[in-house]
């Protein structure tokens, strides 16, 4: 990707977003139509406001109440920001936004984007055990505050019981907009402005917040499955929920308001299971807000997106964010398809009825007629198909929810559903709370079932429910929906950064999925990078508790350089779409919390180090200023690859060489010497790596040592692929500090 595409004038940038947003929201913005605009003002003018009142008065001056042609100007302030940006969100028309352009101190105004939201067993799977090791050593995240921006949460849920949890630290300034907060759930802010009966109509935020820091709850299960102790990653940490999403959507103005409040309130970690499409960082509210958080020492984890397995499908690509992909855990909720030809095919379903037919039933694939909607079991598509009393095969995809497909089958009189992956989804299956007996199976198994249906005049099948199976040795595997690189907004930074549990994760839920009533202990199993993000946020809280002096970049580096490369079976982590998992899929690898606690060396980055990097992306000084919240003059630029990042993207033409400098900080033993051995360097054919420092010698903790790496592409070597990958690791005693390489050949 060419950096030039970001060298656009401010006016063009404004028009670009306007067009994009209009297309995305698929309505034509007439002059009279009011939209929420995000307005950026010049930071220099915004400095020196001691009283928030002065600032808001200044903001308000951009929205004069005028009367034109007998019509009152309807522009109204939605949010006035104090931390994450100098500016505000206001409802106005495109013409009114344009009218502000001439006002002094104005930088930009653009319609807001819409973002989308994308056990219990997982701590053990990640090597966290009660009273042992890192979990005990980090005091379970005691005293750390995790801010979660989501759909809200459920205060009365036992996952938010505060037994044994101390009051929040004195720095905490947040508050609760509703009753029900305690020492676990210390903050609950409503920033949506939408009327909803409960504080989390959706359930998503209850799930993510309990995954990050839920308290211990015994006998947690769904339909009796996955029974065990439910607990978040940092059970003694505090949770502050910023409700920025409704059942419908997540508005950028509310997300910015949530981050603004979280920074003010004093959170230590932020978890955002939210994302939109790739945009330059100064136009991406999450990137802009996360930068301020990072400047204040707050660690920010975000979901990578659920738009996989397609290339360049990532959200949240900024280097100051930890971008988290989704992988499986070693647990399946088994539902086996038994065919009339005696074949048995393993699938999954969370709903496991005890009394399902043991005898074979008629089996049908309505999609055999070649109609997409029928194959996908879209709503109403089975009305003219005889599925009564039958087991129905539905294909995954077609923009129809997996559970919705089952509802269509049920409505049409079908008795069970076999949900078959399409080719791109490979063997990625999910245990969902289906509304009827079901089995979600992989692509190849689906093809086998369809071939069987073709082979006989009376195809038959039934489902056998085998409950919870632990110890699936191929885990972790990357699931098909996890978004992939390459990074579009900053092609020289490798993303995603890391993967963590995001498939069939059990955590708190506001209502019973069995009967939709509110009961005391309700859980649900859902899937998404939305689920992997709070795992990493919780682990960041543990690391922060055990290393209060580590910067966000140091915490991130510790997680990335120690991430696992192999699954339980000892083989390289696989991609469930039946390909090897490449760096664009797993980034640095699968998080290993205990190793992250003792990484030996870290690649640290100071907030101001990002400024020459942002200037190097071709952004104007003003655009960088929007992100950095200060006056920036882009006199100094660095290439993306010169940021002190714990991974590399190396673009090389034939015969070309490139040199990268990195600086590591010793957080391990004072006297230590890290070396490189041949076994720790992996390079694709035709690439030579020159390391002029064969050893990094340290005599003190926190000592920094810099070194250069030169990558040379042999002009004689024939490169038949556009991309390749590799890695290197510095090693000393038990420490292995690994950094992955992604090569692009041009």
Ligand X SMILES: *[C@@H]1O[C@H](CO)[C@@H](O)[C@H](O)[C@H]1NC(C)=O
**Which residue number, 378 or 513, has a Cβ lying nearer to ligand X?**
513
- Identify which of 597, 596, 538 has the alpha carbon closest to the alpha carbon of residue 738: 596
Q: Is the CA virtual torsion 380, 385, 389, 393 positive or negative?
A: negative
Q: Which is nearer to ligand X, 166 or 447 (CB)?
A: 447
Q: Cβ closer to ligand X: 630 or 658?
A: 658
Of 93, 108, 150, 260, catalytic: 150
657 vs 699, beta carbon nearer ligand X: 657
Q: Give least dist CB 558 to ligand X, A.
A: 27
Whichever of 193 and 733 has its CB closer to ligand X, that residue is 193
Q: Which is nearer to ligand X, 42 or 190 (CB)?
A: 190
Tokens linked to 112: 């807001």
Cα distance between the two ends of the chain: 11
DSSP type of residue 309 = T
Q: Which of 527, 530, 551, 588 is catalytic?
A: 530
Say whether 731 sits in a helix, a strand or coil: strand
Residue 178: CB minimum distance to ligand X, A = 6
Nearest distance from residue 311's CB to ligand X, in Å? 4
How many whole angstroms separate alpha carbon 37 and alpha carbon 93? Answer: 9
**Closest separation in Å from C-beta 651 to ligand X:** 12
Task: Scan for tokens 């500090």, then name that residue.
Answer: 737
CB of 244 to ligand X, least distance (A): 11
CB 536 within 8 A of CB 530: no
Nearer to ligand X, 46 or 347 (CB): 347
Three-state secondary structure call for residue 361: strand
Residue appearing with tokens 């689906």: 446
Q: How far is the CB of 155 from ligand X (least distance, A)?
A: 11
Contacts of 6 (CB under 8 A, 6+ apart): 280, 617, 618, 619
512 versus 665: smaller Cβ distance to ligand X: 512
Q: How many residues does the chain have?
A: 746
Pick between residue 277 and residue 379 the one whose CB is nearest to ligand X: 277
Residue 286 or 448: the one with the smaller Cβ distance to ligand X is 448
HEC sequence for 107-158:
EEEEECCEEEECCCCHHHHCCCCCCCHHHHHCHHHCCCEEEEEECCCCCCCH
Cβ(323)–Cβ(484) below 8 Å: no
Smallest distance, Å, CB 140 to ligand X?
A: 22
Would you call 204 a catalytic residue per the annotation?
yes
Least distance in angstroms from the C-beta of 571 to ligand X: 22
In contact, 215 and 165? CB cutoff 8 Å: yes
- For ligand X, the binding residues (CB under 6 A) are 178, 190, 192-196, 199, 219, 221, 224, 227, 311, 368, 447, 450-451, 454, 486, 512, 514-515, 517, 519, 522, 584, 657, 710, 712, 723
Query: Do 234 and 212 form a contact (C-beta atoms < 8 A)?
Result: yes
Beta carbon of residue 312, minimum distance to ligand X (angstroms, whole number): 7
Rounded CA separation 517/438 (Å): 22
- Decide if 157 is catalytic: no
DSSP type of residue 581: -
The DSSP secondary structure of 640-699, one letter per residue, reads GGGS--SSEEEEE-TT-EEEEEEEEEE-S-SSEEEE--GGGEE--TTEEEEES-SEEEES
641-to-297, 648, 714 alpha-carbon distances in Å? 23, 6, 20
Element (H, E) at 236: none
Closer residue to ligand X, CB minimum distance, 154 or 215: 154
* C-alpha span between 55 and 39 (Å, rounded): 14
Which CB sits closer to ligand X, 288 or 573? 573
Q: What angle do the packed helices 204-213 and 529-546 form, to 10 degrees? A: 30
520-524 long-range contacts (CB < 8 A, ≥24 apart) are 520/158, 521/157, 521/158, 521/217, 521/219, 521/220, 522/157, 523/119, 523/120, 523/220, 523/221, 523/222, 523/230, 524/203, 524/207, 524/222, 524/433
Catalytic choice (204, 238, 440, 590): 204
138 is catalytic: no
Min dist CB 712 to ligand X, Å, is 5
DSSP state of 366: G
Q: Work out whether the CA dihedral 488, 490, 491, 493 comes out positive or negative.
A: negative
Shortest Å, Cβ 150 to ligand X: 13
Whose CA is closest to 691, among 679, 702, 673, 677?
A: 677
Match 């090897």 to its residue by tokens: 580
Rounded to whole angstroms, the Cα distance separating 365 from 385 reads: 10
Q: What burial class does residue 683 get, using C-beta atoms within 10 Å of its C-beta: 0-12 exposed, 13-18 middle, 19+ buried?
A: middle
Number of Cβ atoms within 10 Å of the Cβ of 70: 5
* Nearer to ligand X (CB atom), residue 222 or residue 729: 222
Looking at residue 343, the DSSP 8-state letter turns out to be -
Nearest approach, Cβ of residue 125 and ligand X (Å) = 18
Beta carbon of residue 506, minimum distance to ligand X (angstroms, whole number): 13
Based on the number of CB atoms within 10 Å of its own CB, is 720 exposed (0-12), middle (13-18) or buried (19 or more)?
Answer: exposed
Question: Which sequence positions are flagged as catalytic?
Answer: 150, 204, 530
């Amino acid at each position: 990707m060419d950096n030039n595409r970001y060298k656009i004038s401010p006016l063009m940038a404004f028009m670009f977003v306007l067009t994009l947003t209009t297309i995305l929201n698929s309505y034509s913005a007439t002059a009279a139509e009011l939209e929420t605009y995000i307005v950026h003002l010049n930071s220099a003018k915004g400095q020196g406001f001691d009283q928030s009142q002065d600032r808001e008065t200044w903001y308000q001056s951009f929205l004069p109440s005028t009367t034109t042609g007998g019509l009152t100007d309807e522009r109204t302030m939605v949010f006035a920001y104090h931390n994450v940006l100098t500016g505000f969100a206001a409802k106005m028309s495109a013409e009114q936004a344009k009218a502000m352009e001439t006002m002094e101190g104005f930088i930009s105004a653009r319609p807001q984007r819409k973002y989308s939201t994308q056990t219990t067993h997982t701590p053990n799977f990640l090597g966290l055990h009660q009273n042992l090791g890192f979990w005990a050593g980090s005091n379970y995240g005691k005293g750390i505050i995790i801010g979660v921006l989501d759909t809200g949460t459920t205060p009365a849920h036992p996952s938010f019981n505060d037994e044994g949890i101390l009051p929040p630290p004195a720095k905490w300034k947040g508050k609760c907009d509703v009753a029900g907060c305690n020492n676990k759930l210390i903050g609950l802010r409503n920033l949506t402005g939408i009327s909803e009966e409960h504080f989390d109509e959706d359930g998503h935020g209850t799930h993510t917040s309990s995954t990050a820091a839920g308290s211990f709850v015994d006998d947690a299960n769904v339909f009796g499955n996955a029974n065990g102790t439910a607990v978040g990653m940092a059970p003694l940490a505090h949770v502050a929920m910023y409700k920025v999403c409704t059942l419908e959507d997540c508005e950028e103005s509310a997300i910015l308001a949530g981050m603004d409040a979280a920074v003010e309130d004093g959170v230590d970690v932020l978890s955002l299971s939210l994302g939109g499409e790739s945009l330059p960082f100064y136009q991406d509210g999450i990137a802009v807000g996360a930068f301020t958080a990072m400047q204040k020492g707050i660690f920010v984890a975000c979901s990578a997106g659920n738009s996989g397995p397609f290339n360049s499908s990532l959200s949240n690509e900024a280097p100051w964010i930890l971008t988290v992909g989704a992988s499986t855990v070693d647990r399946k909720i088994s539902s086996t398809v038994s065919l009339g030809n005696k074949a048995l095919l393993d699938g999954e379903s969370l709903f496991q009825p005890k009394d399902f037919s043991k005898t074979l039933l008629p089996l049908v694939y309505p999609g055999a007629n070649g109609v997409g909607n029928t194959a996908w079991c879209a709503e109403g598509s089975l009305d003219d198909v005889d599925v009564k009393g039958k087991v129905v095969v539905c294909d995954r995809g077609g923009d129809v929810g997996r559970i919705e497909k089952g509802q269509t089958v049920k409505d049409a009189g079908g008795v069970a559903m076999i949900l078959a992956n399409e080719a791109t989804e490979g063997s990625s299956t999910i245990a969902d709370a289906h509304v009827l007996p079901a089995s979600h199976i992989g692509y190849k198994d689906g093809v086998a079932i369809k071939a069987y249906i073709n082979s006989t005049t009376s195809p038959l099948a039934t489902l056998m429910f085998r409950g919870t199976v632990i110890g699936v040795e191929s885990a972790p595997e990357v699931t098909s929906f996890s978004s992939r690189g390459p990074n579009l907004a900053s092609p020289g930074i490798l993303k995603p950064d890391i993967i963590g549990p995001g498939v069939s994760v059990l955590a708190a839920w506001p209502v019973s999925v069995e009967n939709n009533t509110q009961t005391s202990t309700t859980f649900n199993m859902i899937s998404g990078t939305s689920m992997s993000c709070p795992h990493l946020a919780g682990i960041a809280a543990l690391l922060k508790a055990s290393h209060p002096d580590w910067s966000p970049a140091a915490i991130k580096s510790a997680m990335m350089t120690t991430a696992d490369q192999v699954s339980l079976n000892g083989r390289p982590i696989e991609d469930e779409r039946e390909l090897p998992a490449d760096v664009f899929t797993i980034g640095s690898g699968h998080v290993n919390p205990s190793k992250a606690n003792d990484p030996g060396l870290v690649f640290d980055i100071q907030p101001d180090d990002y400024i020459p990097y942002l200037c190097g992306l071709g952004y104007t000084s003003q655009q960088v200023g929007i992100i950095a919240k200060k006056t920036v003059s882009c006199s100094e630029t660095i290439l993306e690859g010169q940021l002190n990042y714990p991974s590399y993207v190396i673009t090389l033409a034939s015969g070309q060489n490139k040199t990268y400098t990195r600086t590591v900080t010793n957080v391990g033993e004072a006297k230590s010497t890290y070396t490189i051995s041949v076994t720790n360097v992996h390079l694709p054919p035709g690439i030579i790596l020159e390391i002029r420092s064969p050893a990094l010698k340290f005599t003190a903790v926190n000592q920094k040592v810099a070194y250069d790496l030169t990558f040379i592409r042999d002009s004689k070597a024939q490169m038949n692929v556009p991309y390749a990958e590799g890695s290197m690791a510095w090693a000393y005693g038990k420490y292995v500090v690994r950094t992955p390489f992604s090569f692009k050949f041009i």
